[in-house]
Amino acid sequence: MTTKYIDVGDGKWGILLCYDYYLLDYDDMWAIMRAFGMSNQKSNEALKVLGGLNSGMTISNDSIRMSAVFISDTTSESEWWNTLNHELLHVVTAIIDYYGEPYYGEPAAYLQGHLMKKIVEKVGSPCK
């Protein structure tokens, strides 16, 4: 499994991005899900979904100011970025809600762009 940590502005929020995982990585993924507060049952259900193609999942935890983003294998690199963009909306929502910022308009749009830029710089090309 490839794991990248993205700091969203001086420790205000962090993103743990997990991708390129295999069946042998499921124990590590399950441990991350549990550390973020998911129940055993929900973690097991999530692993089943993430075993397919073109799927993703985001878990956010306000108490540690972090989100974990999982992206499954995808059918193309553009599908990987599409899935990431979808999951980043969930991260943006968590951050905006936590800090009490307005969701509509420029703050959320700038945050989404900022996150995407940081991830592009950190990940490069995600597909093998």
Residue range 89-99, pLDDT digits in tens: 999 999 999 99
Q: Which of 6, 41, 46 is nearest to 26 (CA)?
A: 46
Distance set, CA 86 to CA 12, 34, 116 (Å): 21, 22, 11
pLDDT, averaged across the chain: 91
- Is the pLDDT at 125 greater than 80, yes or no? no
Number of domains in the chain: 1
**Residue 128 is assigned to a structural domain of this protein:** no
Q: What is the mean pLDDT of residues 49-54?
A: 88
Residue 37 belongs to domain spanning: 2-123
- Is the pLDDT at 46 greater than 70, yes or no? yes
- Is the pLDDT at 128 greater than 60, yes or no? no
Beta-sheet pairing, 2-7 with 66-71: unpaired
Q: What confidence score (pLDDT) does residue 126 get?
A: 72
**Residue 47 is assigned to a structural domain of this protein:** yes
